[in-house]
Structure 1
Amino acid sequence: MKKERAKKIVTRLLSAAGITVNGNQPADIQIYNDDFYRKVLLSGSMGLGESYMEAWWDCRKLDEFFCRVLRARLEHNIRKDLTMLLEIIPARLFNLQSPAMAFRNGRKHYDIGNDLFESMLDKRMTYTCGFWEHAHSIDEAQEHKLDLTCRKLKLQPGQQVLDIGCGWGSFAKFAAERYGVRVTGITISEEQAAWALSRCKGLPVDIKVMDYRQLTGKFDAIASLGMFEHVGAGNYQTFMRVAHQCLHENGLLLLHTIGGNRPSPFTDKWLNKYIFPHAVIPAISQIGRAIEGWFVMEHWQNFSVDYDKTLLAWYENVNAHWSQLSAKYGQLFFRMWKYYLLSCAGSFRARDSQLWQIVLSPHGVPGGYRFKGA
């Protein structure tokens, strides 16, 4: 395709989303290399992301740019044989995985460097969506989310709690300190495990490096915050079976996951290559089928708009600490990471991606599940 033809197509599509090429508004796109147009049309999201990393284009409000593109549903205006302009539906995390692949894929992201995540995240190192109602900072939002999770699980002192995908141990530490429970956390990242063990020293917390399919034992409650995105559609029922086997009959499972508005058989190529290997997120229908025969759905909450705020806070933290990180990570990484965080924020703002907390019980809570809310 000739450059001029490609430029006309891309310019027209962006105009339909309220975005002007080389315009003056914050969401307008500035083009510094005219090869951008053909690259995007021929390579889709991979071309869009890689050309941004190479500084072929920029935008003052990258998050708003993606929000407008997704709200305008530009993909429906592009012929399938052109791949499509944007497949950016952030954190379509982790396709079908064997246990070996789970370790390999997870380490590619979560073992990048604790210094990066320490600069980016809240003081507890919580790498999931915060709950911003009544919160004024990322630290408050994450503390509110952790407390919300504990209250939904109705934790009581002395209970045995399993944390599937414990990350850097924020939930395990919080639940042990505030609710007096004993926590077993599992992760596929040795970097995370070492950090979590150090932070939880002296508490009734055990952190293990293992795949969820290796789990045994019985627990009074199970939390899984931001891990189900790693499971893959072919393993959803396996996850539910393992969780059911590990949960006492009167226990509760809380599943905290990014969700999609429809099942997606594909992954975003740029996210798959640079951020989350084999990325895909579940839809309601897929989760519904997976819990059939294993759990009763007791409570389902969507606070996806809070992920927009969370991602913006993470970006602001990285930007504020970049002078300390730049020598190690470099400018190419910074543009990649900025693109990841702000494109994700735009997706949640556009309501193209969701964030769900789902409470499940093995056989239904006698008399019904009651939760008073935030």
Structure 2
Amino acid sequence: MEKQKAKQLIKNMLTPLDIRINGNRPWDIQINNPQFYQRVISGGSLALGESYMDGWWDCNALDEFFKRLLEYRIDKKAKSLKPAILWEIFKARVMNVQRGARAFIVGRRHYDTGNTLFKLMLDKGLNYSCGYWHNARNLDEAQIGKLDLICRKIGLKQGMTVLDIGCGWGGFAKYAAQTYGVKVKGITVSKEQAEYAGKQCEGLDVTIELIDYRDLNEKYDRIVSIGMFEHVGWKNYKTYMSVVHRCLKDDGLFLLHTIAGNTPAKNTDPWIGTYIFPNSMLPSASQITQAAEGLFILEDLHSLGRYYDQTLMVWYENFTQNWDHIKDQYDMRFFRMWSYYLLSCAASFRSRRNQLLQIVFSKQGIGQVFRSEGELFI
């Protein structure tokens, strides 16, 4: 496609979104390379992200730019699927890219990026999931609030055994063991996370293991999974639920904390899958509940997506403010990639295209009901 025609096509797509090319408002885009238009037309969302990483265009408020794109459903307005998207769909439908043999790829590619980066970006406990900003004044309080909300929802009591599937850097395991006196086993597919979590939880009744969830067999009073289900994949949702069912005692509770889409999906955004979370996939509420059918009773579903926008914007602020401390370890392309990731994700929650769900399951049913802000009523 010739350059002028490609430029006009992009302009026609952006005009209804109130986004101008080389405009002077924060969400307008500034084009640095005239080949940008042809590249994006031919490569879709993958090319949009890669061209930003390469410095071909800029935007002072990427989060607001993406909010407009997502609210307008720009992905649905496109008249044809690009080759990169078709390849992602093919992989997702034909291949099980989250199978056991590939389970550790996301650990190496994302979570092993460097603990220093995450220490500068996250809260003191290195909780890499949505904070609970109800009554919180800062990120540390929001993450502690989230951890305590989870503990209260599953009714933790001293002496209980708890399994944390996808334990990250040990934030939940440490908090639950210290605050509630429980015994926690955390598992992760990230070597860096496992080593760090083990050190963080020294002296507590906590064990951390570098294993895939499918290898679990022991029984626990409570099971939690915080920000891990996004890596399971639709072909494995039922397997995942079966493993949790196998490991949960008959009178136990399971809390799933996960990002979710509004509709069932079998593929992910090509740019996110290539550069940020390889083999990732966002479930829908219906995909989660269908996978749990015949295994669990759904006791409570709590939507917290409005808090993820705020969490991501604080992470972005921390990342940019501390960039000078780590810029020798990365390059400017990484800086642009990470900024693009954080701000586009913030926009996905601001536009309500993505949600954050906390779901409590039981095996046999309980006589307690959870309400809107997670408070327990008898």
Above 0.5 in TM-score? yes
What residue is the counterpart of 1:7 in the other structure?
7
1:60 aligns with 2:60: yes
Structural mapping, 1:124-273, within 5 Å: 124-273=125-274
Structure-1 separation of matches of 2:196 and 2:205: 16
Deviation digits for residues 44-79 of structure 1 (CA, Å, limit 9, x no counterpart):
011100100011111111001000111011223221
Structure-2 separation of matches of 1:216 and 1:60: 50
Task: Provide structure 2 residue ranges, at least 5 long, that are not aligned to the other structure.
Answer: 86-91
SS at match of 1:80: coil
Quickly say closer, same or farther: Cα 1:97–1:82, change in 2 above 3 A. closer
Quickly say closer, same or farther: Cα 1:233–1:84, change in 2 above 3 A. closer
Q: Is the 8 A contact 1:307 1:348 kept in 2?
A: yes
Task: State the AA in 1 paired with 2:239.
Answer: T
What residue is the counterpart of 2:330 in the other structure?
329
Structural mapping, 1:311-350, within 5 Å: 311-350=312-351
Shift of 1:136: 1.5
Shift of 1:82: 5.0
Task: Provide structure 1 residue ranges, at least 5 long, that are not aligned to the other structure.
Answer: 86-91
Structure-2 separation of matches of 1:8 and 1:185: 53
Deviation digits for residues 81-119 of structure 1 (CA, Å, limit 9, x no counterpart):
45699xxxxxx9x97412220112322111011011111
Deviation digits for residues 14-71 of structure 1 (CA, Å, limit 9, x no counterpart):
1111111111111111111111111111100111001000111111110010001110
What residue is the counterpart of 1:88 in the other structure?
none
Structure-1 separation of matches of 2:177 and 2:321: 32
Structure-2 separation of matches of 1:178 and 1:293: 34
1:43 aligns with 2:43: yes
Q: Is the 8 A contact 1:146 1:174 kept in 2?
A: yes
What residue is the counterpart of 2:306 in the other structure?
305
Q: Is the 8 A contact 1:29 1:57 kept in 2?
A: yes
Q: What is the number of equivalent residue pairs in this alignment?
A: 366
What residue is the counterpart of 1:89 in the other structure?
none
Structure-2 separation of matches of 1:144 and 1:262: 29
Shift of 1:263: 1.3
SS at match of 1:202: coil
Task: State the AA in 2 paired with 1:357.
Answer: Q
Q: Is the 8 A contact 1:66 1:346 kept in 2?
A: yes
Task: State the AA in 1 paired with 2:15.
Answer: S
Task: State the AA in 1 paired with 2:56.
Answer: W
SS at match of 2:329: helix
Structure-2 separation of matches of 1:84 and 1:235: 24
Structure-1 separation of matches of 2:348 and 2:287: 21
SS at match of 2:39: helix
Task: State the AA in 2 paired with 1:225.
Answer: I
Task: State the AA in 1 paired with 2:299.
Answer: E
Q: Is the 8 A contact 2:234 2:266 kept in 1?
A: no
Shift of 1:369: 3.2
Structure-1 separation of matches of 2:154 and 2:6: 53
Q: Is the 8 A contact 1:95 1:230 kept in 2?
A: no
Deviation digits for residues 136-178 of structure 1 (CA, Å, limit 9, x no counterpart):
1111110100000000010000100110000000000000111
Shift of 1:190: 1.2
| TM-score normalised by structure 2 residue count | 0.94
Structure-1 separation of matches of 2:22 and 2:261: 32
| TM-score normalised by structure 1 residue count | 0.95
Task: State the AA in 1 paired with 2:207.
Answer: D
> What RMSD in Å do the two structures reach over aligned CA positions?
1.7
Q: Is the 8 A contact 1:96 1:235 kept in 2?
A: no
Task: State the AA in 2 paired with 1:42.
Answer: S
Moved over 4 A (4+): 81-85
SS at match of 1:254: strand
Tell me which of the two structures has the higher relative contact order, counting C-alpha pairs closer than 8 angstroms and 6 or more residues apart.
1
Structure-2 separation of matches of 1:84 and 1:72: 22
Shift of 1:216: 1.4
Task: State the AA in 1 paired with 2:273.
Answer: N
